[in-house]
Homo-oligomer: A and B are copies of this chain.
Amino acid sequence: MSRASEQAYQQIRTHILSGAVGPGEQLTEDRLAQIAGVSRTPVREAVRRLEDELLLVRSESKRLFVADWSRDDIEEMFALRQMLECHAAERAANRLTKGKLASLEAVNRTLRDAIEQPSPDVRRFLEANRAFHEAIIDAAESPRLGQMLAKLVEAPVVLRTARNYTAEDLRQSARDHDELIAAFAARDPEWARAVMGSHLRRAFHSFTNAAGPGGE
């Protein structure tokens, strides 16, 4: 994406995720243009992307609002992500080269570094985690699958930036990744699928436990 358009996208996204505007609030293109410091034209491009990612929604009369995800919405997204990413893991198991496998291992070492400390570096963990999953999706060599997953993976992860992970959550993730790597090394698609399934399902519950009961 081009400069202004990309900037608008990033700024607006950050603005929403920071919580500066609450779910359900209206946002006008003019206002977003001010926030992003560009004209309405690139804002409109950015808005289309954000609509596609379901961070913004339109009323039936085309007015813009910050999306308000219900519990059902979130459950749905996790279910879809699980279905698609299990498929990706299966495909990846048949395609990962030695080199890519090695870099997957490297990424997981980084992830461990980030959490095996007195106070875990959640930011680095999230980044490494993102890279890990991205590498698998990439190895699945299915551009459309990747495109679909991109939307599903990004959204909930970033939604709660200040989310509380327990130390155990983080360690279990690292262990899951290890087992995924083992499944890949063994070139066992079924194994990879199964591990990915439980990995994501656990993530779902840990997500709802932390964010759910309080109040969406």
Contacts and interface: CB of A to CB of B under 8 A. Distances in A.
Given A45-B48, A52-B52, A54-B144, A83 B83 contact: yes
Interface in A77-136: 77, 79-80, 83-84, 87
Given A83-B83, A87-B83, A148-B148, A142 B48 contact: no
Interface of A: 2, 41, 44-45, 48, 52, 54, 62, 76-77, 79-80, 83-84, 87, 142-145, 148, 152
22 contacts: A2-B62, A41-B41, A44-B45, A45-B48, A48-B48, A52-B52, A54-B144, A76-B142, A76-B143, A76-B144, A76-B145, A77-B144, A79-B142, A80-B142, A80-B144, A80-B145, A80-B148, A83-B83, A83-B84, A83-B87, A144-B152, A148-B148
Copies of this chain, count: 2
Contacts of A52: 52
Nearest first, the 4 closest Cβ-Cβ pairs linking A and B are A76-B142, A148-B148, A80-B144, A48-B48
Contacts of A144: 54, 76-77, 80, 152
A49 to B, nearest CB: 9
Contacts of A83: 83-84, 87
A45 B142 CA distance: 26
A145 B79 CA distance: 10
Contacts of A45: 44, 48
Contacts of A152: 144
Contacts of A48: 45, 48
Contacts of A2: 62
Given A77-B144, A80-B145, A80-B148, 10 more contacts: A2-B62, A41-B41, A44-B45, A45-B48, A52-B52, A76-B145, A80-B142, A83-B83, A83-B87, A144-B152
